[in-house]
């Protein structure tokens, strides 16, 4: 399997303000691959290792302990058992991973928590007390990096950065802790898909297994990432905001023989009532209908259940919405 040539970008200049060279590199990556590696992100390697360690500690627990916090239809938070979610494509496939779902913490006393059922407090395993502070500290760093990149995207698209950032007040940002158990032979860990969010940040696992299919590629390419770099990719929302200039790139995970894979992707999603529609003149061939962030997120979440009706075609992230 050939390896992908994912652009490597040092974003440290953005911490001081707009930086033309860095933004040109980001623009090129968004147009041509949809993925880019981030260095100069400011997250200490010790924190990255600690977060990975606590993720491994969580999934190493006995199944009965993990099932205490099992995810439910009315609370999109908690433990996702292995093979629990269907791809909802009518062929009976399931993703071969176990996970733990977290969302932006929103107290139930806040009015917005009653406007969209994806808001609320998280579940945190009581027997791993270090999990919440470590994940929360990492999350804060991801929020900071996302703000820098969203501001850069706004300048690239020549739209008002302050207004664009206001979309992310009370966001539906979320994170999934993931464990892909080792297999006897390569197997689908997560089926081919495009992210429905604005921006995804990922700390890669050096065991491999992540594959991407950029716009001009006819084959799946192995995503190789430098140690301690973050991997960023554009989601459908940013593709739509850019009128098709940026690309949301299909990707998948292939579980590797005799090797466990752990990851904890962070998904940046705007406030529930933000309508996602082109903010600049769309490319001539680009046609996607507008929808609110809450509508998109609820549709994808609800369709994950094996007995659920498939997500409507105009909200299907593989077909466009």
> pLDDT, tens digit, for every residue of 230-274?
999 999 999 999 999 999 999 999 988 888 999 999 999 999 999
Write the Ramachandran bin of 82: left for phi over 0, alpha for psi from -120 to 50, otherwise beta. beta
> pLDDT, tens digit, for every residue of 70-129?
998 778 899 999 887 655 444 556 788 999 999 999 999 999 999 998 999 999 999 999
**DSSP-derived 3-state class of residue 155:** helix
In this prediction, residue 306 carries a pLDDT of: 60
DSSP-assigned letters across all residues of 184-201:
SS-EEEEEEE---SSEEE
* Phi, psi dihedral angles at 43 (to 5 degrees): -95, 120
Alpha carbon 87 to chain centroid, angstroms: 17
**Domain 8-315, what architecture?**
Sandwich (2.60)
Helices (H) and strands (E) in the chain, counts: 7, 15
In this prediction, residue 206 carries a pLDDT of: 81
Reported pTM:
0.93
81 within 8 A of 163, measured Cβ to Cβ:
no
In this prediction, residue 121 carries a pLDDT of: 92
**Per-domain residue ranges of the chain:** 8-315
């Amino acid at each position: 399997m050939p390896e992908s040539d994912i652009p490597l970008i040092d974003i440290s200049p953005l911490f001081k303000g707009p930086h033309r060279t860095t933004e040109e590199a980001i623009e090129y990556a968004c147009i041509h691959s949809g993925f880019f590696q981030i260095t100069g992100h400011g997250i200490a390697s010790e924190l990255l290792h600690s977060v990975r360690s606590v993720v491994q500690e969580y999934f190493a627990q006995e199944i009965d302990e993990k099932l205490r916090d099992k995810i439910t239809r009315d609370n999109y938070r908690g433990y996702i058992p292995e093979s629990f979610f269907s791809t909802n494509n009518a062929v009976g496939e399931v993703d071969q991973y176990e996970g733990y779902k977290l969302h932006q913490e929103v107290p139930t006393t806040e009015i917005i928590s009653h406007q969209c059922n994806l808001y609320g407090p998280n579940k945190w395993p009581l027997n791993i007390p270090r999990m919440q502070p470590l994940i929360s500290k990492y999350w804060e760093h991801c929020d900071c990096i996302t703000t820098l990149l969203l501001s850069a995207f706004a300048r690239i698209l020549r739209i008002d950065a302050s207004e664009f950032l206001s979309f992310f007040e009370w966001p539906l940002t979320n994170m999934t802790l993931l464990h892909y158990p080792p297999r006897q032979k390569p197997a689908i860990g997560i089926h081919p898909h495009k992210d429905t969010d604005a921006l995804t940040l990922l700390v890669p696992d050096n065991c491999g297994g992540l594959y991407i299919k950029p716009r001009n590629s006819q084959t799946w390419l192995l995503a190789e990432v430098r140690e301690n770099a973050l991997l960023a990719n554009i989601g459908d929302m940013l593709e739509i905001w850019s009128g098709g200039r940026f690309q949301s790139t299909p990707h998948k995970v292939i579980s590797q023989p005799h090797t466990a894979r752990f990851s904890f992707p962070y998904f940046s999603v705007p406030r529930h009532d933000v309508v996602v529609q082109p903010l600049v003149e769309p490319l001539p061939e680009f046609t996607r209908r507008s929808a609110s962030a809450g509508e998109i997120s609820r549709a994808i979440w609800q369709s994950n259940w094996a007995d659920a009706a498939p997500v409507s075609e105009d909200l299907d992230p593989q077909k466009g919405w």
